[in-house]
Structure 1
Amino acid sequence: MSTINPNGKEIISVSTELAGKTLTLEVNRVGFRTTASVLVKYGDTVVLGTTQIGSRPVKLDYFPLSVDYEEKMYAAGKISGSRFIKREGRPSDEAILIGRIIDRPIRPLFPKGFRAEVQVVASVLSMDPSFRPDMVAMIAASSALSISGAPFDGPVAGLRVGRVNGEFKAFLSPEEREQSDLDLVVAGIESGVVMVEAGADQVDEEVVIDAIAWAHEAMQPAIALQKELAAKVAKEAMEYELVLPNEAIQTEVDEWTHEKLGTKLHRPYPERNEMVNELRWSFHEEMTTKHGDEYEALHDEYDEAFTMSLHKDVRRGIVESQTRPDGRKLDEIRPLSSEVGILPRTHGSSIFTRGVTQGMNIVTLAPLSYAQIVDTMEVSDGERRYMHHYNAPGYTVGEVRRLGSPGRREIGHGYLAERAVLPVLPTEEEFPYAIRSVTEIMSQNGSTSMAATCSSVLALMDAGVPIKAPVSGIAMGLMMDGETPYVLSDIADAEDFAGDMDFKVTGTAKGITAVQMDMKLHGLPVEVLAQAIRTSTPGRAHILEHMLTTLAAPKPTLSPYAPRIEKIKINPDKIGAVIGKGGEVINKITAETGAMIDIKEDGLITVAAADTKNIEKALDWIRSLTEEPEVGRIYEGKVVTIKDFGAFVNILPGIDGMVHISQLSDSRVENVTDVLSEGQIVKVKLTGIDERGRLSLSVKDAE
């Protein structure tokens, strides 16, 4: 096979072993006009990573980087299950979340002030069904960036790690993922970790710490392979200019703010925010007077320098005196308050307030048929029975914004809160409801995803959902002064903007249910992350204690406005009897009882109706169609056939048993017709079932 592509360029390929399989990076086979493209192969999974750098200069006050993950249904040999749309269009929530996972470790590895337009796309072309392709996509995206000539301080690699039988493992099979009590994504560079995201089934924090360390060590071959590829094919470093505050301007601003910041601004929120706004207006008024007409052109640069001066002041107070902008100690939690049952017609509702951050949560219950069908490249006919949606309009931060569909941030925050609660939800058999939880953020000042978590748990308990244990969440911050870390509990916006890492931890009194860590530094040692996780535990416990004073346990009854649902478990082989030919039977049950009936493949049937009498009527009907004969039970049956040796009695729909003549009476019976007649209703006891499934009945034992 030729190693020269149609354009005369050599096809270069490098390989290594990663977690038991061969990882291969290949360039110059496809994507001839991209800035850089890499074809990544791992098992039967193939992902194309591309980087395109804009050729035109941009004048923006932010870095226009876009990172996308493209699901292709053909990669899994699927056609979309939608009846109306077969072409890939709007990315699924799952694809958006994976795009965020790839974006978060990549973005901080560009220099501050870099403004070129950069687009990174990871497209899954072939998917090995034995493991998820998302971490292969992260390696593909990083590989393309590493050979693009962009000032990217990578490469990055990621692993999704689980724990099966006490052992950590990457690239788990679907069956292993079901067994695992941990689903951890770690992204890192050679020297440290840059992103962590996890869901866990109330796992001890030390297990999470050990898993992070294991993942960072295990991903090193993928990082080394990208460096090997870059050494062979990397383009020349691109020329660029960083958009940074003018040093003279920054010095002038720092001198102006020198006597005006510090302890003078140490006030609780929102009082501090108002003081900062007033100070900012005073600053611009004075600078306008000082610089005259030329200041209008420099306004934004001076404003950015003012913000930078504020950030430096926040860091200085924490490092020098361990005092935070609102006067709190490093481990101090803002004032807490919460309520439940605040909305009269909803099935469950709550408000959770921490400082100025406030989340209202509303829970809605519905039959299982209202679960969301998940139609993605990875999942076949999956369902989301629990859905958490998060909304945060502009007014929550005091801004005018156009209302629209949720963005990546809203989807990500909702997913984090959803993941935090999933491990404690009751099973479908225990609580046969679809559950939708919606967090309406009312006010923001840091850590709204944790407010969403806490408010959703309170609303679930208010709705009477029998969760296994209540979950609380806390957002932590980190500032590094050289090698010294300063960990902050319950961070607010000012500390988040000025800090080096923000991370969220959720869990029960027993253990962790979710983690999300994002670093602004170019990697942190596992030891620092371990300190941050351990420091979060007392704060999380404090918040949980407060929540339990509001509502100590799920309410014993549902809202009168929630649908009533009962369940019955039948033999899966009997499902056809309930449905009937062409749905004839189930349609008849629904029409005559007014109940909504959902049937699962495992034989779980749920019946929902506003009137419990209609539910019971439908259940009795289903029982009559599916009931299994039970030895020792007495039945009221109909004599269908009489023979010389006995009679056949119908005890259940389609199920007959035989009463031998000797079982008709304690005294001798000469003729069966002396005791029974066809069509007679008689009580019989099921005394046995032989190996061929034949039923033996007794009249005398029933009496």
Structure 2
Amino acid sequence: MKEYKFTLAGKDYTMKSGLIAKQADGSVVIESNDSVVLATATMGEAMEGAGFFPLTVDFLDKFCSGGAIPHNRITRREGRPSTQAILNARICDRPIRPLFPKGATNPVQIVITPLSQDQTSDLGVLGMNAASMALTISGMPFEGPIAAVRIGLKDDQFIVNPDFNELNNLDLDLLVAGKLGAITMVESRANEISEDKMLEALALASKHIDELCQHQLEFAKEFDIETKEFTISKLEDEKVDLITQAIDLNDLEFKITTKKEFKAKFKEVLNKVLEKLESAIEEETISKSNVYDLLNKAFEKVMRKNILEKDSRIDNRSLTEVRSLQSWVGLFERTHGSGLFERGETQSVTTMTLGGPQDALLIENYFEEEEKTYYHQYNFPAYSVGEARPNRGPSRRDIGHGNLAEKALLAVIPTQEQFPFTIRVTSEIVGCNGSSSMASVCGSTLSLMDGGVPLKAPVAGIAMGLVSNEDETQFKILSDIQSLEDFAGDMDFKVTGTRTGITALQMDIKLKGLKQEVLANALNQAKDGLNHILDHMESVIDKPRSEVSKHAPIIATIQINPDKIKEVIGKGGETIQKLTAETNTEISIEQDGMVTICAKTKEGYDEAVRRISEITYEPQAGETFDAKVVRIENFGAFVEIMPGKQGLLHVSKISPERINHPSDILKIGQILKVKLTEVDREGRYNFSHKEFFKKPAQSPDQKEGQAPEQEKSEQDKEK
């Protein structure tokens, strides 16, 4: 077994290899505190005709690593990957994929498995670093190593690799991956921080990434690395020349504004080339797919050249120009808030739904269950890009885009104390020509403001692109990229923010790395685009509506004495279950006595408040009540002044005159006025009816001063 120890920003780490997973091409364990993460890298035989690089990254949920048993009561096994596991897999995939050769067809699988974990270590960051080290010693043609660092900001102080359980309390949570001297991936959430502060954080991350990469290179020196054969899909030069000669680049110098226009124009050029190559195709010297692929590459080359040399984009926009914008709010009557945001051909229909505490999203992790009272879910149906394919639920991409849109709004979402609703935002991408995740951010702002959610400020999003020359000495940054520019470009840099500052970033590149100068220019250019989009959105709705929708539930909180919680809940939950069923409400109670009531109608809410007030009410001596007789004993009667509040009406306190038995005057179910005379040390109530007693009316046959028949017979008995 080989072992390498190092320290980064005051924290100790250990990398090990050779003890476990020896059959994998590369296997590394990384340790930090009590956390241990295994990463393996394995390569398979080439897949002919794959048309893409078959890289898969899996991050496995392992409850046993945290000393826990899965919550599934039937199998007690881990099920589908959790949202956090999917996000961890994506952040590992994104910086690694560009560092394999173009045209690679050998399947590569990276599996990250937590073996032990505490509540402080960032398993995603540990997994990325372990995966890079496993690839570095695997012998695959991986142009790494890469490293990942998380930078936090709290009280204006940067923290390198902050504790994972503290991430939600930071003003900045920035995850950066890169190689020596260059950044390859960025993911962040921020509380409206400035561009300068973000660049400062990126510079700090780059410094530590370089340090981590050096540690990996040092550890790699201890291995005899055997280079593996890797198959690159490549068309023979003579076939490439044959097809290239048939392509007239002037035919690709067209301008379009819609995807349909592009498809029609591209098909026209493709048919022209196929006609020239008809005999070669019939003789099976080349295939139609060969022609299609090379024509695509030729188009990309023309488009990139026009941007670099002429500042000319495919749709005639300037480099900083945003596509045409249109927005609507309040589209659907029964939703609690809705917005349609349209940028070019990209459309996001976003709806907002308000709920109570019971509607919070339950997050199961290894140590405890957490609840999210604000969450965003993104859907990308096939029809949005004119395709027909089965809908098999949210993809990893859908989950990642939803998470980004959610993070973008976190900085402006009100606290539970300010707005005690659960907020679910849903984005349906009904049309897409690039930047759909950023459209969902803008749609979120519109729907939330339409629904009366008191946002601190509106948030917009924009996707920035990049085109550079072969040696990366010249580059042009594009604002608001569409699909063709994303596909043919070098960068997809998503920026969200308010007028005050940045709320989220996400960057992926196809280059081997990116200099910080490019990121700085892109951020500055993005700011102008964001302000332009915010101007448009505020022309549609400039502030949150003063009230929530009339179809939204009523949610309010009342404070009760914590000692009364058990009375509201009742034995085995009987009281609260009956209360919620009869008032059609949902009620949750915190340990501090804060009661949250979620009701569908005002009548249900008012009734729930009334009944809880009755249950928790503490009567004071001297108060009077209308009481109901519920039980009669020899020594007195028990009366109920409100549900759950009973006390004794002693026989001596029923009438000013002496009576032999309470049943002489009282009956079960009888209503009478009583006065609370005492609350004893044990909290028991003692009542009196003397003050309100009225002597029964005298019968016609009864003489003056004679007792009623019942009373007389009792008196006779006494004699």
**Could you state the TM-score of these two structures normalised by the residue count of structure 2?**
0.84
* 1:413 counterpart (392, 397, 401): 401
In structure 2, distance between residues paired with 1:639 and 1:305: 91
2:473 alignment partner in structure 1 = 483
- Which residue type is aligned with residue 424 of structure 1? V
Q: 1:12 to 1:463 in 2, by over 3 A?
A: same
Quick check: 1:169 aligned with 2:148? Answer: no
Q: 1:637 to 1:587 in 2, by over 3 A?
A: farther
Extract unaligned runs of 5+ from structure 1. 1-10, 641-649, 657-677, 685-692, 694-703
**TM-superposition CA deviations, 1:373-412 (whole Å, max 9, x none):** 11123x6210122221111122211222222111111111
* 2:580 counterpart (558, 578, 590): 590
1:130 alignment partner in structure 2 = 120
Quick check: 1:621 aligned with 2:611? Answer: yes
Q: CA deviation at 1:86?
A: 2.2
Task: Check the 8 A contact 2:195/2:502 in 1, yes or no.
Answer: yes
Task: Check the 8 A contact 1:146/1:234 in 2, yes or no.
Answer: no
Q: 1:139 to 1:261 in 2, by over 3 A?
A: same
Specify the SS of the correspondent of 1:259: helix
Quick check: 1:77 aligned with 2:60? Answer: no
Task: Check the 8 A contact 2:69/2:76 in 1, yes or no.
Answer: yes
1:698 alignment partner in structure 2 = none
Q: CA deviation at 1:298?
A: 2.1
1:299 alignment partner in structure 2 = 288
In structure 1, distance between residues paired with 2:481 and 2:562: 52
In structure 1, distance between residues paired with 2:11 and 2:356: 44
Q: CA deviation at 1:617?
A: 2.2
Task: Check the 8 A contact 1:75/1:126 in 2, yes or no.
Answer: yes
**TM-superposition CA deviations, 1:160-192 (whole Å, max 9, x none):** 221122111123235643431111100011121
**TM-superposition CA deviations, 1:268-308 (whole Å, max 9, x none):** 22464144333344235324425241358522122111111
Task: Check the 8 A contact 2:281/2:287 in 1, yes or no.
Answer: no
Task: Check the 8 A contact 1:80/1:375 in 2, yes or no.
Answer: no
In structure 2, distance between residues paired with 1:57 and 1:625: 71
Quick check: 1:459 aligned with 2:447? Answer: yes
In structure 1, distance between residues paired with 2:403 and 2:21: 34
Specify the SS of the correspondent of 1:232: coil
Q: CA deviation at 1:518?
A: 0.5
In structure 1, distance between residues paired with 2:38 and 2:563: 45
In structure 2, distance between residues paired with 1:494 and 1:251: 25
Extract unaligned runs of 5+ from structure 2. 628-640, 648-671, 684-719
Larger Rg: 2
- Map residues 252-331 of structure 1 onto 2, 5 A cutoff: 252-255=242-245, 256-262=247-253, 265-270=254-259, 272-295=261-284, 297-331=286-320
Task: Check the 8 A contact 1:164/1:176 in 2, yes or no.
Answer: no
In structure 2, distance between residues paired with 1:602 and 1:211: 40
* 2:225 counterpart (235, 240, 245): 235
In structure 2, distance between residues paired with 1:635 and 1:462: 51
In structure 2, distance between residues paired with 1:169 and 1:243: 44
In structure 1, distance between residues paired with 2:62 and 2:561: 38
1:347 alignment partner in structure 2 = 336
Of 588-597 and 32-41, more deviation after overlay is shown by 588-597
- Map residues 566-585 of structure 1 onto 2, 5 A cutoff: 566-570=556-560, 572=562, 574-585=564-575
In structure 2, distance between residues paired with 1:635 and 1:449: 65
In structure 2, distance between residues paired with 1:572 and 1:526: 55
Task: Check the 8 A contact 1:351/1:361 in 2, yes or no.
Answer: yes
**TM-superposition CA deviations, 1:626-654 (whole Å, max 9, x none):** 5699xxx99956799xxxxxxxxx99999
Q: CA deviation at 1:42?
A: 1.4
In structure 1, distance between residues paired with 2:352 and 2:31: 43
Specify the SS of the correspondent of 1:338: strand
1:400 alignment partner in structure 2 = 388
Q: CA deviation at 1:328?
A: 0.3
Q: CA deviation at 1:369?
A: 0.3
Of 503-512 and 48-57, more deviation after overlay is shown by 48-57
* 1:362 counterpart (340, 351, 363): 351
Task: Check the 8 A contact 1:253/1:309 in 2, yes or no.
Answer: no
1:550 alignment partner in structure 2 = 540
In structure 2, distance between residues paired with 1:569 and 1:193: 51
Quick check: 1:185 aligned with 2:145? Answer: no
In structure 2, distance between residues paired with 1:634 and 1:341: 54
Quick check: 1:612 aligned with 2:602? Answer: yes
- Count of residues in correspondence between the two structures: 639
**Percent of paired sites with the same residue:** 40
Specify the SS of the correspondent of 2:59: strand
Q: 1:467 to 1:290 in 2, by over 3 A?
A: same
Of 430-439 and 166-175, more deviation after overlay is shown by 166-175
* 1:529 counterpart (509, 519, 533): 519
**TM-superposition CA deviations, 1:247-280 (whole Å, max 9, x none):** 4444555552322122xx1232246414433334
Specify the SS of the correspondent of 2:50: coil
- Which residue type is aligned with residue 215 of structure 2? L
- Which residue type is aligned with residue 27 of structure 1? S
2:422 alignment partner in structure 1 = 434
1:423 alignment partner in structure 2 = 411
Task: Check the 8 A contact 1:16/1:221 in 2, yes or no.
Answer: no
In structure 1, distance between residues paired with 2:188 and 2:15: 27
Q: 1:56 to 1:273 in 2, by over 3 A?
A: closer
2:184 alignment partner in structure 1 = 194
**TM-superposition CA deviations, 1:55-90 (whole Å, max 9, x none):** 455431111110111121111112223444521121
1:389 alignment partner in structure 2 = 377
